[in-house]
Amino acid sequence: MKKRMFLKLSASAALALSIGAVQAAETLKIGAVAPKTGGLAGGAVVSFWPNVKLWAHDVNTRGGLDVGGTKYMVEIIEYDDQTNPGETIKAVQRLATQDKADFILAPYSTGLNIAAAPVYARYGYPMITHTAISDQVEELSNKFPNMYFTLGGASGLAEGVVDVLSAMKANGDIGNRVAMVNVADAFGIELAERAEPSMKAAGFDIVYKTSYPLGTQDLSPVVKGAKDANPDAFVAFSYPPDTFGLTKQAVVESLNVKAFYTAVATAFPAYAGANGAAANNVLGAGGVNADDPDFQAYMKRHEEVTGEKPDFWASGMVYASFQILEQAIEATDSIDRKVVSEYIANNDFDTLMGKISWDENNNNSAYWTVGQWQDGVFKGVASTGREGAVAPRLKQGWE
């Protein structure tokens, strides 16, 4: 594990960055653990790490967190968990016992969050997840009352896909034949398990179904198998490497379905960059109201501060999870983890992604489930009640 500290601004730097900033008397140590290497690094370096940098910049530029009149600048302590649950656990343990972190931001991905949850609970750290999706929320929150899920459950995400395909079928745009594949990770397995009965109940025939290990390099057998089944729609509950790989193979194999869906990373700007015109009308996990002025301002600031563009789904929720922690600290005038955790449990929060409130530690506010690349912008097409959804389009080939 390699540790790196950054964005600990001195009082003079803070004054230079923010006119009238109050000199910070204290420093708050914030731990951050996520992949920089390994299979999920591609997702974390888009959705997680830039938002850690942006949030620390935003807090320190305005003079730090106000805790009962004392300003606290934030100092980030980073660890690369190498996409390895054991390394995630060791990093959180080290942050808690050696680095004496005041708070630790939740890790990246479903599996790494679930793996680390016992350590967060042992040391009393509030764990506001931002890239974890699971229907085990009630079970997990009973075990770990300090663990919160902001991105929604597996059923909501899976049923969003089914709803979009059902509307297309009802309009006579697609038939009922679906090829469904998934990465053999906690995320992909649970999504596929939730989607299959919903697909069948909606009148779809799953004509091809398979899974593949995380990190699989050659996905051509998966796509060839799907094509041989002659589906009307292709659905992949995928992680970033396979999202890109499956799309590339679909183009190579001319998998010409009317609805093509891949999950995590479809919303990444790099997805459109890598696929060009072929990305148009591809469906994917998540989405945003691309016309929301608050989100547009966030996108602009994200690129100015980090040099990178955010994605159109998880990036905003990662930042929102940090806003929840920030608001709880300032509202309680406390850096006592127990006090902050209790406040999070019992209050609603206004964030970049809208209002977030809890039901059994799960975000019971509306959230995006399906988006689609339309003319260079990944727009939300389905949600559990968010405003700004646009109508989905059919996939008309790969050119």
Percent of the chain with pLDDT over 70: 94
pTM for this one?
Answer: 0.84
pLDDT-derived band of residue 25, with 50, 70 and 90 as boundaries?
low
Residue 17 clears pLDDT 90, i.e. is over it: no
Cα separation, 317 vs 351, in Å, equals: 9
Instruction: Find out whether 269 and 242 touch, Cβ atoms under 8 Å.
Output: no
Neighbours of 16 (CB within 10 A): 12
Q: Regarding beta strands 3-6 and 70-80, do their DSSP bridges make them parallel or antiparallel, or are they unpaired? A: antiparallel
Per-residue confidence (pLDDT) for residue 219, from 0 to 100: 97
Looking at this protein, which amino acid is placed at residue 371?
G
The residues spanned by each domain of the chain are 3-153+292-363, 154-290+368-383
Total H helices, total E strands in the chain:
14, 18
String of DSSP letters for 203-230: T-EEEEEEEE-TT-S--HHHHHHHHHT-
Per-residue confidence (pLDDT) for residue 267, from 0 to 100: 96
Q: What is the pLDDT of residues 138-193, one digit of tens each?
A: 888 889 999 999 987 888 899 999 999 999 999 999 999 999 999 998 889 999 99
Cα separation, 233 vs 360, in Å, equals: 34
Cα separation, 142 vs 208, in Å, equals: 37
Same fold, 3-153+292-363 and 154-290+368-383: yes
- Helix, strand, coil percentages (3-state) for the chain, rounded to 5, are 40, 20, 35
The domain made up of 154-290+368-383 is a member of CATH 3.30.70.3270? no
Q: What is the pLDDT of residues 219-277, one digit of tens each?
A: 999 999 999 999 999 999 999 999 999 999 999 999 999 999 999 999 999 999 999 99
Phi, psi of 289 (to 5 degrees): -85, 95
In CATH terms, the fold of domain 3-153+292-363 is Rossmann fold (3.40.50)
* Residues contacting 336, CB < 8 A, separation 6+: none
pLDDT-derived band of residue 4, with 50, 70 and 90 as boundaries?
very low
Q: Which residues pair with 75 in a beta bridge?
A: 29
Cα separation, 241 vs 248, in Å, equals: 11
Cα separation, 125 vs 340, in Å, equals: 9
* Residues contacting 389, CB < 8 A, separation 6+: 287, 289, 379, 380, 381, 382, 383
Mean predicted lDDT score pLDDT of the chain: 92
Question: Which is higher by pLDDT, 136 or 321?
Answer: 321
Question: Which residue intervals of the chain are DSSP H helices?
Answer: 11-17, 41-47, 49-61, 85-97, 110-123, 137-143, 154-170, 186-201, 220-228, 240-252, 269-275, 293-306, 314-332, 337-345
String of DSSP letters for 235-262: EEE--HHHHHHHHHHHHHTT---SEEEE
